[in-house]
Amino acid sequence: MFGQAKPKTPEVLHYWHELVENFQTSPQEFYAAVQKTLQERKVPGLEAARVEFAEGGLLSDKREYLRLTRERLVFDICAAPFGTSFFFSCRFAELPLVIAPDAVMTILLILGLIFWLFGHVLGWVLGVIAVLILLAVATSVLRNAVSIGLQDLDAWLIKQPGVGAIYEILFRKDTYYREDTRIMYLETVPVVVKKICEELTAAKGIKLTPRLEQAPAQGDLSESKAAQTPK
């Protein structure tokens, strides 16, 4: 819909990995099992896609990841051979808010056109009053889109480049429900990934050892708008 300013690097909020010695499996089957388990758990709002990331420079080989997305929250899940061993990882990141200048200019132009049309049709006094009423109604709808049953509108606006950032900053209220939902996603997805990993390795007689999970060294995830580190 609109262009975007130069994207910033996503902030990785949590990272888990496991290297299994003398073990091989199919990455595609692993990804399919993760998606199937999430569907069985009826985890809402997650969009799944297979994405490829270069292993090095422009001409290097690419490695396929399973990406799970909800709003600006992203899980990048990897399953890949590493010599005679096999590697699993799960990164949880929050995509940064990016406001594109051309999106701001377009919105201002649209507002200016609306003022001109209402002023031309109703006269400038009534036109300004009508536009202010229209803006008040639109603001109320946007600030309460989910609570009044417009989840699809809320989800659509969040995904729009440029406009989504403006909508989130100006209109989308952060609530306990949204905070709790983000935490539930952060709790659920890594648990599912680890469960599938344990099931695949256990089928070949391999028991995984407990591993400490990694989180950012700076800041407290409980203060982040995205999530908290699972325990």
Average pLDDT on 174-178 reads: 76
Residue 223 or residue 35, greater confidence: 35
Query: What is the pTM for the complete model shown?
Result: 0.67
Q: What is the pLDDT of residue 197?
A: 92
| 80 pLDDT more than 60 | yes
E-strand stretches of the chain: 11-20, 47-54, 62-70, 73-82, 85-94
More confident residue, 147 or 110: 110
pLDDT digits (tens, 9 = 90+) for 181-201: 888 888 899 999 999 999 999
Coil, strand or helix: which one is 119? helix
What is the structure's pLDDT at 33? 94
32 Cβ partners below 8 Å, 6+ apart? none
Structure confidence at residue 25 as a pLDDT band (50, 70, 90): very high
Go through the domains of the chain in sequence order and give each one's CATH number.
Answer: 11-97+176-223 (3.30.310), 101-170 (no CATH)
